[in-house]
Amino acid sequence: MSPVELGVRHTNSSSVINASMVLAAVRDRFPSWADQCKPYVNVLTLKAWNQRGYRVKIGEKGIRIVTMLPVWKEDQAKGEKIQIGSRPQTTYVFALPQVEKQN
């Protein structure tokens, strides 16, 4: 599998609430870099960074974020999924200053 390019969004869907939580957490941890923060682009999960050919630097700790994930239900009558709510999930992300390009 070829690596995903840096700058390619991690997902096509996004949440304004989740993005604002990421921005706040990054601003607390990296205030001088926070203006460059782009959730889903340069603040990603470990798996997403690895897919782009990056590795987390030794000693770096993930930024803990509580995100809201949609909860879906299959509507049998219409044959489609309907969002019925959301639930919290803790996830860890890493910002660009915490990773380095793998050789």
For 46-87, the pLDDT digits (tens) are 998 998 899 999 999 999 988 888 899 998 888 888 889 989
Rounded Cα distance between 18 and 99, Å, is 21
- Residue 92: is its pLDDT beyond 90? yes
Between the alpha carbon of residue 64 and those of residues 27, 28, 61, 76, the distances in Å are 13, 12, 9, 37
Neighbours of 6 (CB within 10 A): 15
Neighbours of 69 (CB within 10 A): 13
Is this structure's pTM higher than 0.85?
Answer: no
Cβ-based burial of 87 (10 A; exposed 0-12, middle 13-18, buried ≥19): exposed
